[in-house]
């Protein structure tokens, strides 16, 4: 049954689940306590992707609890023994929902009380946007650098820092958008485990001129644990997705450029480029006195000798293959000293 043919609600909370019994009570208790239920019509749309634990029974119990509170609960499941993956589960949860707006919620995370209301207000003002928010990690001391990076991005940096290994500049567990944003993309990739479906969706959204917006407020507790879906995605897969888009959207318009980092990551980046973009690399740059003044000769290209310059001597534009927040601020100070404009003179690929 397509629930969208019935009366639409304001917001559907989209919850894909596979073996979520450890998190369900915390997740749904937080949904029940949302301030938005006093002002908006809110439904929960959950899809159980072949769970083998107590997930299904717990969801049935929560459906009864939430219905008694006036929160509609739409629930279905993949009854086969083979999970289809988080992209599949999200798509089916969206398909069976009726909300004008969609609030994506991972079962292992916890909404803070004003999440739905404040993101709904922002999304009404930004109808072509994926709306995110700030978050805190649980445990508090997990992924400190990542959390600091994501929460510190301003609305311009949301568009510029899309090629770092951190992934989307708005993290998926905070996404909130109008249904039309989802429909224009056509849903998430359903290729299954190992596919960065959120990054692929994010890039497609940007490719069709979709917007990004972040509510400057902590509205989610983002749980860190070793069984999180993010750990099932190979780093090389994410590298390839990032690199392909960088070449197609940035390097294609640069006739020449520099690579900042003459070490392992910079050289890996060079070797990963398509040959036509390798030919546009005019130099590497670095701060290491053991590298500056020398040359890099790529494997199997004995006639190609690329100079390694001090960063103060390099010519932009530059691809930066240096990870942020790892040098006690010295890299950031060096970059700031050059008075370069992010997105025009340099792009981070770290």
Give tens-digit pLDDT for 161-195.
999 999 999 999 999 999 999 999 999 999 978 89
pLDDT in tens, 68-88: 999 999 999 999 999 999 999
Between 288 and 5, the higher pLDDT residue:
288
Q: Does 227 score more than 90 pLDDT? A: no
140, two tokens = 């508090």
Beta-bridge mates of residue 214: 132
Q: How confident is the model at residue 300 (pLDDT cuts 50, 70, 90)?
A: confident
Q: Does 261 score more than 70 pLDDT? A: yes
* Mean pLDDT score across all residues of the chain: 94
Listed range (254-263, 294-303, 311-320) with the worst mean pLDDT: 294-303
**Confidence (pLDDT) at 143:** 93
Residue found under tokens 């053991």: 290
Separation CA 222–CA 219 (nearest Å): 10
**Confidence (pLDDT) at 16:** 98
Among residues 11, 13, 93, 12, which one has the least CA distance to residue 49? 93
CA atoms within 13 A on the CB side of 185: 28
Separation CA 260–CA 349 (nearest Å): 10
**Confidence (pLDDT) at 6:** 62
**Confidence (pLDDT) at 229:** 63
Q: How confident is the model at residue 232 (pLDDT cuts 50, 70, 90)?
A: low
**Confidence (pLDDT) at 4:** 46
pLDDT in tens, 130-153: 999 999 999 998 999 999 999 999
pLDDT in tens, 98-123: 999 999 999 999 999 999 999 999 99
Percent of the chain with pLDDT over 90: 90
């Amino acid at each position: 049954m397509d629930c969208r043919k019935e009366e639409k609600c304001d917001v559907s909370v989209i919850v894909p689940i596979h073996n979520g019994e450890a998190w369900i009570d915390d997740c749904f208790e937080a949904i029940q306590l949302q301030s938005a239920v006093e002002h908006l019509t809110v439904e929960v749309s959950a899809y159980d992707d072949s769970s083998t634990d107590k997930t299904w029974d717990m969801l049935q119990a929560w459906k009864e609890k939430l219905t008694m509170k006036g929160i509609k609960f739409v629930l279905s499941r993949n009854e086969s023994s083979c999970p289809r993956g988080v992209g599949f589960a999200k798509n089916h949860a969206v398909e069976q929902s009726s909300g004008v707006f969609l609030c994506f919620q991972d079962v292992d995370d916890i909404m803070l009380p004003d999440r739905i209301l404040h993101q709904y207000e922002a999304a009404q003002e930004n109808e072509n946007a994926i709306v995110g928010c700030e978050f805190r990690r649980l445990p508090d001391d997990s992924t400190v650098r990542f959390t600091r990076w994501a929460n510190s991005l301003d609305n311009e940096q949301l568009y510029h820092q899309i090629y770092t290994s951190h992934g989307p500049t708005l993290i998926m567990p905070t996404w909130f958008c109008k249904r039309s944003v989802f429909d224009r993309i056509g849903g998430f990739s359903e290729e299954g485990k190992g596919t960065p479906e959120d990054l692929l969706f994010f890039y497609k959204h940007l490719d069709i001129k979709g917007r990004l917006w972040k509510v400057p407020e902590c509205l989610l507790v983002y749980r860190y644990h070793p069984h999180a879906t993010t750990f099932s995605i190979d780093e090389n897969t994410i590298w390839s997705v990032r690199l392909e888009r960088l070449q197609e959207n940035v390097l294609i318009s640069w006739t020449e450029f520099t690579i900042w980092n003459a070490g392992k990551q910079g050289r890996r980046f060079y070797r990963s480029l398509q040959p036509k973009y390798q030919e546009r690399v005019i130099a590497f740059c670095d701060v290491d006195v053991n590298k500056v003044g020398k040359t890099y000769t790529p494997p199997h290209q004995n006639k190609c000798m690329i100079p390694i310059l001090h960063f103060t001597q390099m010519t932009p534009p530059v691809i930066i293959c240096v990870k942020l927040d790892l040098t006690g601020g010295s890299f950031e100070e060096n970059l700031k000293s050059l008075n370069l404009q992010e997105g025009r003179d340099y792009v981070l690929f770290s």
